[in-house]
Amino acid sequence: MRFVSDQRLADGVREREFTLGEIPGILWTPASAPTSAPLILLGHPGGLRRMYPRLVARARDCTAQGFAAATLELPGGGDRPASAAAEQARADLRRALAAGEPVTDDIVDRLVLPLVEKAVPEWRAVLDALLALPEIGGPVGYSGGVISIGVRLAVVEPRIVAAVLFAGSFVPRAMFAEARRVTIPLHVLLQWDDEGNDRQMALDLFDAFGSAEKTLHANMCGHTGVPRFEGESANRFFGRHLRTPPSS
Amino acid sequence: MRFVSDQRLADGVREREFTLGEIPGILWTPASAPTSAPLILLGHPGGLRRMYPRLVARARDCTAQGFAAATLELPGGGDRPASAAAEQARADLRRALAAGEPVTDDIVDRLVLPLVEKAVPEWRAVLDALLALPEIGGPVGYSGGVISIGVRLAVVEPRIVAAVLFAGSFVPRAMFAEARRVTIPLHVLLQWDDEGNDRQMALDLFDAFGSAEKTLHANMCGHTGVPRFEGESANRFFGRHLRTPPSS
């Protein structure tokens, strides 16, 4: 991991862009330099530059609690090359949606499974690098979408102890078996009237999670309309699970 | 309304038992005597004495925010006489559950609809009496079950401006049409693994609500296992909607 920029935002939060090999990422740490801070990995649908305003707002929620936050570009996101297969799957998806046809399992599998396969090792590698910094100590939470990436990370990455998952993307059927193996505390966000999301599939996925503590928060206002108070609610979830002793 | 007892709890909260005609109820007000406080009506399944420990805990959540809280015995609850028809419906429900048979619409209608018909005017009457007290000014929220009583109140009682509804009881099909007429902000609690509750019906009811702001919070741990953090979440919901200006 190599830092390529280092700046203070207006409120004193330190923002460092980095690269992990060829992959760009961003690290935010609280204004008052922490030691061994908990870390929240901020998931997103790809395209760091486009997502930056929302990511930095979520990062500030983390740093306000004394947590560090970090994110990494997804395979095919931003300037990262997309595979021909992923491009084809995306084109097939767009065609199905435009034609009002059902999005088949085949399209969802081709769209999501290779992304999960490629992204998860990258996120684990960035976790190695971040946890080697003196200012970051863990525990680690995952927050956001792509929900299938979050599910896979929750299953395979023992350093992640709690996750806020955004149920806003297509979920391959194969992920349901993985969902049953998730045991960490989960806080799942669902936009009830998200036209681009299969609500029943999201409810079925929530039902499948093996976690003893799992909470579903459903709201109105479409895919991008998660209410501000849900951000606070997610903060409190991480406050309960990433802090020792837990704070209300 | 006639007060029949007046005491201070250990934390200074004032608890007054009252009767409204023959109906017993309880009023809690904050330790520091408020003027024109908002009021939260605490719904419950009937049986004030049995429910008292949970009710007083919920009342304390209200008074801690500067709100008054009040509750009223339900028709057939506690020492109040139950109608023969209600007794029959309850016996039919128990028999169906014991036999593992489906709970028919007919049983649910006979169990819940007369209760709603009788309870709602009583809760509106107690609201008249409570709002006549100088220490209570409104606005008013409803919190709890029986969810069909909360739905009916939300439709017919304009003084109720926000409701936390506990989806933990059978819902007559007729209530779905009423649910579509609800427009106040709603915060709906569902225990995902509540064996005695029809989860799909609760989800359908949430979907039916006409409110632009509606939130569903689903958790594990059975009918009575609503996590403590959901109490805080409901408090914040009322904080946003019963206070002017809203506080976070």
Decide if A232 touches B, using CB distance below 8 A.
yes
Write down the pLDDT at residue A64: 93
C-alpha distance from A184 to closest chain B C-alpha (Å): 14
Q: Which residues of A108-137 are buried (b: 16+ CB within 10 A; e: fewer)?
A: bbbbbbbbbeebbebbeebbebbeebebbe
Tokens matching residue B237: 């919901």
pLDDT in tens, B193-246: 998 788 999 999 999 999 999 999 999 999 989 998 998 999 999 999 998 654
Q: Which residues of B touch A232 (CB under 8 A)?
A: 236, 248
Question: Would the CB atoms of B207 and A192 count as touching at under 8 Å?
Answer: yes
CB pairs under 8 A between A and B: 49
The answer to whether residue B184 scores a pLDDT higher than 90 is yes
> How far is A63 from A203, CA to CA, in rounded Å?
31
Q: Could you give the CA distance from residue B129 to residue A123 in angstroms, rounded to a whole number? A: 60
- For the cut 90, the answer to whether the pLDDT of residue A248 exceeds it is no
Q: What share of chain B is helix, strand, coil (3-state, %, to 5)?
A: 40, 25, 35
Read off the pLDDT of residues A73-107 as tens digits, 9 standing for 90 and up. 999 999 999 899 999 999 999 999 999 998 999 99
A240 in contact with chain B, both atoms CB, cutoff 8 A: yes
Instruction: Let me know how long chain A is.
Output: 248
Q: Is residue A51 within a helix (H) or strand (E), and if so which, with residue range? A: helix A48-64
Q: With an 8 Å Cβ cutoff, is B96 touching chain A?
A: no
Asked if A215 is an interface residue toward chain B (Cβ–Cβ < 8 A), one would say yes
Residues in chain B with CB shorter than 8 Å from the CB of A217 are: 215-217
Q: Which residues contact A204 (CB under 8 A, 6 or more apart)?
A: A176
CB atoms within 10 A of CB B121: 10
Answer yes or no: is pLDDT of A247 > 50: no
Decide: A63 and A31 in contact? Cβ < 8 Å: yes
Question: In the predicted model, is pLDDT for residue A245 greater than 60?
Answer: no
Q: Which residue of B has its CA nearest to A219?
A: B215
B206 contact residues in A (CB cutoff 8 A): 192, 218
Is A212's CB within 8 Å of B206's CB? no
Instruction: Show Cβ contacts of residue B23 under 8 Å, excluding neighbours closer than 6 positions.
Output: B72, B73, B80, B122, B126
Spell out the domains of chain B, with CATH numbers in brackets.
2-242 (3.40.50.1820)
- CB-nearest partner of B203 from A203, A240, A248: A203
User: From the list B192, B215, B227, which residue is nearest A219 (CB)?
Assistant: B215
Q: Which of A107-111, A114-118, B34-38, B118-122 has the lowest mean pLDDT?
A: B34-38
Tell me which of B190, B213, B214, B215 to substitute to probe the interface with A (most A C-beta atoms closer than 10 Å): B215
Calculate how close chain A gets to B63, using CA atoms only, in Å. Answer: 19
| Gap between the Cα atoms of B246 and A164, Å rounded | 26
- Best of B189, B192, B204 to mutate (most A CBs within 10 Å, chain A): B192
Q: Is the peptide bond before A146 cis (omega within 30 degrees of 0)?
A: yes
Say if residue B127's pLDDT is above 50: yes
B33 pLDDT band (50/70/90 cuts)? confident
